[in-house]
A and B are shown apart, each in its own frame.
Chain A
Amino acid sequence: MKKVLLLGASGLIAPHIIPGLETHYYLKLADVKPHPEGVPVLSVDVTDYSQVLEAARGVDIIMNWTVLRHDDTLSFQVNTQGAFHVMKAAAELGIKKVLHTGPSLVLGYYEHDFDIPDAPVTPSTDYYFISKYLSNEIVKSYARAYKIHTLCYLFQGLRARPENPLVGRDFPPFTIIYDDLVHAVRLALELESVPDYFQHFNLHSHLGQGKYSMDKAKRILGYVPQRPYTDLYKRTS
């Protein structure tokens, strides 16, 4: 069973995917704050390199789900400096796979377009987007220099699978359902090699609107939404 360090285990995303991953991987959960449901986590501050390095010892893969939005100082320290620490630790310890994460970096610029392929990113000057964008550049540089197979998952929202059809509502763009994210993470953790050592992937769960393509995720990862969620957003007659 692969050993995976999961940074950001107590945040807004990881608690929703840990249950779907823990039967398949030995997860070393880490965060700077307690888990919302009291699950034990290792106390690791991603802005402290020595803590990241120690946490990463003995694992096969690092997943970085840490994020801090919209704070002028902490966004850079967590998102940008933190990514540097993760990749530096991976390089130092010889860890050969990293899963990095961030927000969609095409959403703002192309929101009025359709059939949008893997377009060049347009991060903007917003603290959240730019600090994550810069982190991607750091990650890419380390990945290629140290041959660390690195995937970067980009999406904007996360939600539970609707249990019943939703009436009078549409699916928000770049939102991914928990189950699909678990599936995508498992694909990443099992992927043998990443072309050119770094690739970012646009991920979401709803293709019905004809907006953001996920051809690359399908081509390289084999990712497709696990069920046609369009069915749950259909107008009833």
Chain B
Amino acid sequence: MNVLIVGAASALGKAIVEEIGDAHQLRLMDIVPVDPPDKGEYIVGSSLNQDDCWKAVRGMDAAILTGEPPIEVPQDELERDQSLLDHATRGTHNLCKAAVEAGVKNIIYGGTLDIFRSYPDDVYISELWKPQPEPDMPVMSRYLGELTCREFARDYMVTVTGLRLGKVVNEEEVSDTHPDLLWLDIRDAAQAFCLALQRDTAEQVWWTQRWGLYHICADLGNPKYLINQARSLGYKPKHAFSNNWAT
């Protein structure tokens, strides 16, 4: 399968490339050059540029939009928020529109579970719960990106998968810190993206089947964020932060 990875220079993008390995032919897209794997190539471009999007999606079977912020965001808070918003809305729309028009049949978007942070910790959060994003642009913009992708599943015969990721960390690097119910090891996040490539509902007549939504988090003994839906994809997280929760 020919797979485009957008946001490939991010840590998450690199982890996805590592996870996919040689299983697929990759095209990596970011605003800076990225080292491609042996069976791959890269394209320097921005989702805000429609020509770049067109070049990126051409010949692809699937597009992974990591949802990660651009590698370079402005220092000024307002300019940063404007940039995040623009990339998550217009940029995501540009990519999805180019993708469906180029015949891409599978789009995967990396959203965030942070949209449920306002709920108390004594509830179980599944995909059935109403998102309540706070006006914190790094979180809210990812939610808006997810909503943008969802509309493409409604309008086009394309498989679209929203992966709402927990707080992406590296288990070894947080071994000495207080645990967080949102934690998700970056390698498990990458696993979820790879599994989502196998979803194939593009020919389903009901848009609700073309759209799939999965909560991706660590497999904790007493979780707040349930991952039962993701298990149906084959998701088996390997990093449970056991040492953190044991103390």
Contacts and interface: CB of A to CB of B under 8 A. Distances in A.
Partners in one complex: yes
Interface of A: 49, 72-73, 76-77, 80-81, 84, 87-88, 91, 122-125, 127, 130-131, 133-134, 137-138, 141-142, 144-146
Q: 10 closest pairs, A vs B, by CB? A: A76-B90, A141-B135, A142-B135, A125-B155, A125-B151, A134-B144, A145-B135, A80-B89, A141-B133, A134-B89
A130 B85 contact: no
Interface stretch (B93-101, B167-175, B195-203, B224-232): B93-101
B134 interface: yes
Given A72-B50, A130-B148, A134-B147, A81 B85 contact: yes
21 contacts: A72-B94, A73-B90, A76-B86, A76-B90, A77-B90, A80-B85, A81-B82, A84-B85, A91-B135, A122-B154, A124-B155, A125-B154, A125-B156, A130-B151, A131-B89, A133-B147, A137-B133, A137-B140, A138-B144, A141-B133, A146-B135
A49 B83 CA distance: 13
A46 to B, nearest CB: 13
Contacts of B96: 125
Interface residues of B, number: 26
A134 B145 CA distance: 9
A123 B134 CA distance: 22
Contact of A124 (B81, B85, B151): B151
Contacts of A138: 85, 135, 140, 144
Contacts of B133: 137, 141
Contacts of B97: 125
Contacts of A76: 86, 89-90, 93
Contacts of B143: 137
Contacts of B89: 76, 80, 131, 134
A90 to B, nearest CB: 11
Contacts of A131: 89
Which one of B134, B143, B152, B155 has the greatest number of beta carbons of chain A within 10 Å? B155
A107 B200 CA distance: 30
Contacts of A80: 85, 89-90, 144
B78 interface: yes
Given A73-B90, A76-B93, A134-B144, A125 B152 contact: yes
A152 to B, nearest CB: 16
Nearest to A74: B90
Contacts, number: 69
Given A72-B50, A122-B154, A124-B154, A137 B144 contact: yes
A84 B148 CA distance: 17
Nearest to B131: A137
A114 to B, nearest CB: 22
Nearest to B140: A141
A131 B89 CA distance: 8
User: Counting chain A CB atoms within 10 Å of each CB, which of B81, B82, B89, B155 scores highest?
Assistant: B89
Nearest to A139: B135
Interface in B46-82: 50, 78, 81-82
Nearest to A47: B82
B154 A84 contact: no
A73 B86 CA distance: 9
A81 B78 contact: no
Given A72-B94, A125-B156, A146-B135, 8 more contacts: A73-B90, A88-B135, A124-B154, A125-B97, A125-B151, A137-B133, A137-B140, A137-B143
Contacts of B134: 141, 145
B232 to A, nearest CB: 24
Interface in B72-127: 78, 81-82, 85-86, 89-90, 93-94, 96-97
A74 to B, nearest CB: 10
B78 A49 contact: yes
A138 B136 CA distance: 10
A146 B12 CA distance: 33
